[in-house]
Structure 1
Amino acid sequence: MTYQVRIEGTEHAFEAEEGENVIAAATRAGLMLPYSCRSGTCGTCKGEVIQGAIQYPDGLPPAIDADEEGEGKALFCQARPVSDLVIRVAEVREAGDIQPQRLPARVERVDDCAPDVRRVFLKLPRDKRMPFLAGQYIDILLRGGHRRSFSLANAPHDDELLELHVRHMPGGIFSEYVFTNMQAGALLRFEGPLGNFALREDSDRPMILMGGGTGFAPIKGIVEHALHIGVARPMHIYWGARSRQDLYLESLPRHWEKLHPSVDFTPVLSEPAPEDEWQGAQGFVHEQVLADYPDLSGYDVYMSGPPPMINAAREGFVAAGLPADRLFYDSFEPGRD
């Protein structure tokens, strides 16, 4: 059985198979709706059901409460239609020729850059290419139907190798492999590009870009793309980490700051080690942003990192005047084994 899903206020409509979530059905039809974690924890995909009914496979997801559900709100990464639907979403755009693909790739090299972070560089077959937007991610496809999501840390113009930043998660079925057995030449399969965390090139607003931990990866791709295409509006980059060793590519944003007058860089450590002799900003990274920018009404904000950081920052930034439609984020939900 299939259900028709129509997007209110547009000419867009698509079909969802029984048991298929709205985001997956829209993507299959060549449309991009807002989403990030795909696990119901970040709220990026939240919209409204105007007509029709949906159900969730495992009960109400974490990023929506019963009151919101009663008002017709829904998380479309989890919502399965059980009738034809009319929905309202904040953003819809045609994906054009940037469609997710399933591709093989070989590991070109693996670089240590912190005790628990490695950069993995993947090379596609000679006859393959994957167009993507700076900031999007891919899913590594593993045995048993498991997937692990990693942001692309390189910009689209620099796509000879795909760059991933992998944090070691003890017991993780993929990160354990990366940190123990992965060698150059290993073959992987992945699906991508995915997500719509990407630079809004049509904006003229100054940008604040905030990464937490390996959430620096998509920020790196976005900044490198912006500099490549000549974006001149101010970009203030914040990177939150525990100690100095966790700023695993600290020299890179400092290099951007030195070369480009439009770029500022502020690293923020939550637990600096005594040997760090840290004289910079301390605490939670989003609180440093708010201290520096108490009025965010005129900015675009891009942020990526763990859900607690995303949730706290989202609340604080909106309270500081940031329009909700000028906040773009990617929530790094850890894989569950």
Structure 2
Amino acid sequence: MKIQVNARNRAYHFQAHDKEQMLFAGLRSGIDLPYECSTGTCGTCKARLIDGKIYDPWPEAPGHKYCKNELNEFLMCQCVARADCTVEVGNFVYTMDPGACLPRSFFGVIRATRMLTPDVMHLEIELDNPQNFDAGQFVVMEAPGVTGFRGYSMVNFERDAKKLEFVVKKKPGGGLSQWLFDSGSIAGRPVDLCGPLGHATFFPNVKKNILCIAGGSGIAGIISILARASQEQYFNEYRGYVFFGVRTAKDSFFLDELEGFVRQFPERLQVTVVFSEEDAPASLKQAHPDLLFGTGFVHDVAAQAMDGKYQNIRAYLAGPTPVVDTALRTLIVKGKLTTDNIRYDKFS
């Protein structure tokens, strides 16, 4: 189907495959259409149907509350074209930079899982074809019999990756997370994926100190960023500050991996693990002598530690929406960072 998107600055044309969501078709064509979660929750990809016919496979998606039926508004991340369509978005839209990793649909098989905490799982998926992505990006995943996509950031980083690694948080009522946690052995199960997606990407040519603030499973994309930076020996020249927030010590994970990065660059990389509901146990501090620990909300601990250190900073935020929103305000108000130096993707 032929799709025309009228943006505030110009019109774009692209082809959508049968049963392909309009958002993914546009992104695959190198057009940077507006989106955040890309899973039907945030409403950022809202558009208005001017002409044509569309089908919505998930009319119960939470993001529909941002759409007005009387204006023919719909979510591009959910709807597929049933005929040639003309749609309108209220944003300025531009083409992606040359060399960008364009998203595509692909297939994977779950090969391994392990529990990091009682409600957090590490997931390893073998791909049908090698996949390129940038550090900090995510994909959306769909499992047979489960309605809707769910977004997960890659933990690993490598070019032509033959496998992807994820961190999954169990959420009450979450269709895909319940399928992953409650279906017994899921090794060998197939999943559909689309990506890479996301704007919270790290490139070594940024040539700035980096600040990462993550809550819970949001640490996944930050691990990918640290992996890319370490491969490039980035912290031989620039500094890195990482703040990882969870509720209690029992909710923490990836501490060995984080400490491993610090040990590679002890002079320039600093990682602080923050517990909101307790002080760090002495035994945990002894087990991880190269990590720092704090108590409180992760954005407050980060603000105190970063006082006077915001010069030449690029910040990356990840985690639940409240964590991202409060950290964003802190960086703008206290850190005086401009929005072009803050990168984040919200998983609503």
State the TM bucket, normalised to the shorter chain.
0.7 to 0.9
* Structure 2 contact 142–176 (Cα < 8 Å) conserved: no
Residue in structure 2 matched with residue 300 of structure 1 by the alignment: 314
Q: Distance in 2 between matches of 1:95 and 1:26?
A: 16
State whether structure 2 residue 260 is matched by structure 1 residue 255.
Answer: yes
* Structure 1 contact 31–93 (Cα < 8 Å) conserved: no
Instruction: Give unpaired runs (5+ residues) of structure 2.
Output: 52-58, 67-74, 286-292
* Structure 2 contact 38–140 (Cα < 8 Å) conserved: no
Instruction: Report deviation, 1:322.
Output: 0.7
Q: Distance in 1 between matches of 2:305 and 2:279?
A: 24
Q: Distance in 1 between matches of 2:123 and 2:21?
A: 31
- Determine which of 79, 92, 97 is the counterpart of 1:93: 97
Inter-CA distance 23–326: structure 2 relative to 1 (3 Å threshold): farther
Match of 2:212, SS state, is strand
Residue in structure 1 matched with residue 27 of structure 2 by the alignment: 27
Q: Distance in 2 between matches of 1:163 and 1:97?
A: 18
Inter-CA distance 34–302: structure 2 relative to 1 (3 Å threshold): farther
* Structure 1 contact 137–150 (Cα < 8 Å) conserved: yes
Residue 112 of structure 1 aligns with an amino acid whose one-letter code is M
Q: Distance in 2 between matches of 1:192 and 1:254?
A: 32
State the TM-score, normalizing by the size of structure 1.
0.76
Residue in structure 2 matched with residue 104 of structure 1 by the alignment: 108
Mean Cα deviation higher: 248-257 or 85-94: 85-94
Q: Distance in 2 between matches of 1:116 and 1:299?
A: 33
State the TM-score, normalizing by the size of structure 2.
0.74
User: Which deviations, in whole Å up to 9, do the C-alpha atoms of 1:15-54 show, x marking residues without a partner?
Assistant: 588xx987445314223346331368668779xx9xx99x
* Structure 1 contact 272–278 (Cα < 8 Å) conserved: no
Inter-CA distance 250–83: structure 2 relative to 1 (3 Å threshold): closer
Residue in structure 2 matched with residue 140 of structure 1 by the alignment: 141
Residue 153 of structure 1 aligns with an amino acid whose one-letter code is V
Q: Distance in 1 between matches of 2:344 and 2:166?
A: 18
User: Which deviations, in whole Å up to 9, do the C-alpha atoms of 1:145-186 show, x marking residues without a partner?
Assistant: 422221111112483431111112234333233333342632
User: Which deviations, in whole Å up to 9, do the C-alpha atoms of 1:207-233 show, x marking residues without a partner?
Assistant: 001110010111001110111123232
Inter-CA distance 133–111: structure 2 relative to 1 (3 Å threshold): same
Residue 134 of structure 2 aligns with an amino acid whose one-letter code is L
Q: Distance in 1 between matches of 2:268 and 2:160?
A: 22
Match of 1:211, SS state, is strand
Q: Distance in 2 between matches of 1:265 and 1:274?
A: 14
Instruction: Give unpaired runs (5+ residues) of structure 1.
Output: 65-74
Residue in structure 2 matched with residue 213 of structure 1 by the alignment: 216
* Structure 1 contact 112–118 (Cα < 8 Å) conserved: yes
User: Which deviations, in whole Å up to 9, do the C-alpha atoms of 1:240-293 show, x marking residues without a partner?
Assistant: 000112221112111211221321101111012786778831111111121122
Inter-CA distance 129–182: structure 2 relative to 1 (3 Å threshold): farther
Alignment: residue pair count: 316
